[in-house]
């Protein structure tokens, strides 16, 4: 009898916890844009805004990549790539697992710069970018 009431109490606690978690994750309670994903091979152009921000063009879309820290000398590279771990596609939101890879400042080897976040830009935001930072 005691085991049955402990089990029932545990189930009620589990259902109550699950119910609260579900209510907080309802899309109507926190409006946000759904995640958009792309392949690194579809990136057509990039422009470095500063040592912590890179704008990329994927087809007709433009995304802002905010880096985890300063990534020096990105302006001096003619080539760079995006690599990701854990998935074959790159999605908006957290940049966890995504890095920019370019030549090291010395010209030998590579430098990797971790991406903190990936944000899609609206056509108006792209239009407002300074010309030198528009991919």
pLDDT score, position 121: 97
Contact between residue 131 and residue 49 where contact means Cβ atoms under 8 Å apart: no
The label of the residue with tokens 């470095």 reads 48
pTM above 0.85, yes or no: no
Distance CA 6, CA 10 (A): 6
- Asked whether residue 70 is domain-assigned, the answer is yes
In terms of pLDDT, which residue wins out, 16 or 49? 49
pLDDT score, position 4: 42
pLDDT beyond 60 at 16 = no
In terms of pLDDT, which residue wins out, 15 or 52? 52
- Range with lowest mean pLDDT among 20-24, 30-34, 88-92, 101-105: 20-24
Domain count, the chain: 1
Would you state the torsion angle of the CA atoms of residues 80, 47, 65, 102, taken in this order, to the nearest 10 degrees?
A: 20
- Say how many C-beta atoms besides its own lie within 10 A of residue 49's C-beta: 17
Distance CA 66, CA 70 (A): 10
Contact between residue 110 and residue 102 where contact means Cβ atoms under 8 Å apart: yes
Q: Structural domain of residue 119, as residue ranges?
A: 37-133
- Asked whether residue 28 is domain-assigned, the answer is no
Q: How far is CA 37 from the centre of its chain?
A: 9
- Asked whether residue 67 is domain-assigned, the answer is yes
pLDDT beyond 50 at 69 = yes
């Amino acid at each position: 009898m005691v085991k049955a009431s402990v089990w029932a109490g545990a189930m009620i606690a589990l259902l109550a916890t699950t119910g609260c978690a579900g209510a907080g994750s309802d899309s109507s309670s926190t409006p946000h844009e759904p995640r958009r994903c792309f392949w690194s091979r579809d990136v057509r152009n990039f422009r470095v805004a500063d040592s912590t921000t890179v704008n990329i063009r994927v087809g007709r879309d433009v995304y802002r990549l905010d880096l985890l820290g300063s990534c020096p000398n990105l302006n001096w590279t003619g080539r760079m790539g995006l690599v990701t771990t854990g998935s074959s596609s790159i999605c908006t939101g957290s940049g966890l697992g995504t890095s920019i890879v370019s030549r090291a400042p010395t010209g030998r080897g590579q430098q990797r710069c971790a991406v903190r976040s990936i944000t899609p830009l609206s056509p108006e935001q792209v239009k407002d970018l300074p010309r030198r930072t528009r991919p």
